[in-house]
Amino acid sequence: MTERMTVEKALQLVKRSDDGLYGVLLEHGTMQLGYYKPLGSDEQEPHEQDEIYIVQSGTGTFVLGEERIGYAPGDALFVPAGKEHRFVEFSDDFAAWVVFYGPQGGEAQSE
C-alpha cells in the first residue's frame, strides 16, 4: 500500500519528535524520508549518509562547506555524507523534506 506523505502529517511528527525539529515519515531499506523545521538556528552535525533537502517553505542561505547558497521553496540541495552544512539566515516559515539514503560514508561517485 502507498501512503500519501503530507505537510500536515510531517508537522505532526515533528511536533511529537524528541527534539521538536525533525520527524521521520518513512523508512525503507537505507532510505529515510523526514521533515525538518528548525527554530531560530540550525545546529545539526554532518550525517553519515548522503542526503537531499527539498525546500518546502521559506527562504534563506544554505552553507555547504565553504559555499553559501541561497534557496527558495521547491529548491533541492544535495549534501554528500560527512560534509559540514547548515541553514542560516532562514525565514520563520522555513521547512524542508529530507531524504537520507545509501551506505554509511555515502555512495561511490561515478567518474
**CATH number, domain containing residue 76:** 2.60.120.10
Residue 32 domain flag: yes
Residue 2 domain flag: no
**Residue recorded with cell 521547512:** 95
- pTM for the structure as a whole: 0.92
Residue 31 domain flag: yes
Cell numbers that stand for 20 in this block: 521538536
Structural domain count of the chain? 1
pLDDT band of 109, cuts 50, 70, 90 = confident
Residue 106 domain flag: no
Whether residue 111 has pLDDT greater than 70: no
Cell numbers that stand for 79 in this block: 549534501
Q: What is the pLDDT of residues 54-105, one digit of tens each?
A: 999 999 999 999 999 999 999 999 999 999 999 999 999 999 999 999 999 9
Domain span at 18: 7-101
